């Protein structure tokens, strides 16, 4: 195996890992605040992709505007979902699980009714290929990685350095104690759910020009997101980034040796290994 092939495989793996980390961060944020696992999270990713498809692909708005529109629209949809549905299920993991599965089917079917079942293409936002020493990098994928990384840094800064961010972290640590200290739990929950969904929407909008857009496109990213947060540690932002990079490297290099179907199993094997050896994840708290 040549060195350039190995480098290419690693770049392939890392290339889109950051976009999946965004999905994972949204999922883990919602879990931290509301103690529910939102199985419909992939559908918010799908909605973000369709907003980008409409804004950028159909109406011809600038890509950055389409990306911002996707984040805002999906975040708003998340707030509505929290207000109408998930607020009443805080801490009721099983109930929330079943309701989120129902929401998943409703959102997929609604997208199917509105947009049809055939894949929709979104024009490339950034064209061009960078080649060096036998390695190929698409400018578009590079842009997605940088944009996703920027959003992760922005999220980190928001959670660490703003009053609302600190309120969200306090609620995640102990909602009752946070409420006693004057944190408006209901507002924080709605806002946190919106931010979590907005991250998924951002990921969908970032990947829409690279992939195609379809009602069922959220199924795979949400599985990857679960793998990432289990490996990295539920609730840990650096853990999600580490989990995403590890999964990307495993999938990228693993494909050189195994069929892509078998490589999907490697991710789950890694999850089993982490759960057995370090159940809280690589960087998860106690």
Partner 1 sequence: MRTALSVIRVVAALASVAVMAVWTPAAAADKVLPIGVLGPLSGGAAAYGLDTSRAAEMKADEINAAGGLKIGGDLYKIKLIVYDHKASAADAATAANKLLFQDKVKYIIGNTVGATCNAVQTVTEPQKVLFSFMCWGTKNLAPDKPYSFRSLLSQWEVAEPFYRWVKEKHPSIKRIAAISPNDTSGIDTNTAVVKYAKALGFEVVADEYYERGTKDFYPTLTKILALKPDLLDVAAAPAGEAGLILKQARELGFKGAKGWTAGVNPVPMISVAGKEAAEGVWTPANIDVTSEFVSPAVRKFGEAFVTRYKEVPGAIAIANYAAFDVITKAMVEAGSLDTDKVLAALTGRPHQTIWGPVVIGGKDTYGIDRQFLYPVVIAEIRDGKLVDLAQVAPIGLKK
**Contacting partner 1 within 10-69 (CB under 8 A):** 12-13, 15-16
In sequence order, the β-bridge partners of residue 129 are 138
- 228 vs 202: CA distance, rounded Å: 18
**Contacting partner 1 within 145-204 (CB under 8 A):** none
- Selected range binding partner 1 among 8-16, 88-96, 167-175, 236-244, rule: CB under 8 A: 8-16
> Please, are residues 77 and 198 in contact by the beta-carbon 8 Å criterion?
no
Of the two residues 164 and 216, which places its CB atom closer to partner 1 in the complex?
A: 216
- Selected range binding partner 1 among 6-14, 31-39, 163-171, 177-185, rule: CB under 8 A: 6-14
Residue 215, CA distances (Å) to 64, 106, 186, 277 in order = 23, 11, 31, 37
- 248 vs 244: CA distance, rounded Å: 6
- Selected range binding partner 1 among 29-37, 114-122, 173-181, 236-244, rule: CB under 8 A: 114-122
- 20 vs 200: CA distance, rounded Å: 9
CB of 131 to partner 1, least distance (A): 8
Of the two residues 243 and 254, which places its CB atom closer to partner 1 in the complex?
A: 254
> Please, are residues 225 and 24 in contact by the beta-carbon 8 Å criterion?
yes
| Total residues interacting with partner 1, rule: CB under 8 A | 41
**Contacting partner 1 within 206-245 (CB under 8 A):** 207, 210-212, 214-217, 219-220
CB of 59 to partner 1, least distance (A): 17
CB of 129 to partner 1, least distance (A): 6
Instruction: Report if residue 117 touches partner 1, rule: CB under 8 A.
Output: yes
Among 93, 95, 105, 278, binds partner 1 (CB under 8 A): 105
CB of 51 to partner 1, least distance (A): 18
Instruction: Report if residue 95 touches partner 1, rule: CB under 8 A.
Output: no
User: Which chain residues interact with partner 1 by CB under 8 A?
Assistant: 5, 8-9, 12-13, 15-16, 105, 108-109, 112, 116-121, 129, 131, 136, 138, 207, 210-212, 214-217, 219-220, 251-252, 254-256, 259-261, 263-264
């Amino acid at each position: 195996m040549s060195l350039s092939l190995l480098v290419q495989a690693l770049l392939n793996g890392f290339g889109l890992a950051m976009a999946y980390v965004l999905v994972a961060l949204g999922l883990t944020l919602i879990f931290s605040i509301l103690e529910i696992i939102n199985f419909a999270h992939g559908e918010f990713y799908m909605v973000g992709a369709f907003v980008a498809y409409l804004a950028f692909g159909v109406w011809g708005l600038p890509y950055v505007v389409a990306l911002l529109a996707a984040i805002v629209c999906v975040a708003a949809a998340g707030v509505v979902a929290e207000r109408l549905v998930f607020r009443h299920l805080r801490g009721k993991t099983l109930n929330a699980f079943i309701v989120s599965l129902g929401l998943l089917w409703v959102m997929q079917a609604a997208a199917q009714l509105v947009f049809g079942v055939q894949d929709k293409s979104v024009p490339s936002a950034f064209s061009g290929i960078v080649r060096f020493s036998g390695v190929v990098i698409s400018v578009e994928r590079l842009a997605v990685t940088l944009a996703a990384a920027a959003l992760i840094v922005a999220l980190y800064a928001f959670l660490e350095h703003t009053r609302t961010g600190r309120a969200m972290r306090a609620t995640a640590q102990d909602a009752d104690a946070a409420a006693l200290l004057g944190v408006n739990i209901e507002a924080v929950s709605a806002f946190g759910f919106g931010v979590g969904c907005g991250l998924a929407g951002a990921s969908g909008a970032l990947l829409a020009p690279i992939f195609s857009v379809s009602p069922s496109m959220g199924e795979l990213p949400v599985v990857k997101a679960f793998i990432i947060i289990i490996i990295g540690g539920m609730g840990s932002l650096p853990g999600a980034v580490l989990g995403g990079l590890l999964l990307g490297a495993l999938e990228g290099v693993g494909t050189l040796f195994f069929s892509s179907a078998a490589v999907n199993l490697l991710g789950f094997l890694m999850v089993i290994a982490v759960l057995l050896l370090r159940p809280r994840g690589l960087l998860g708290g106690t």
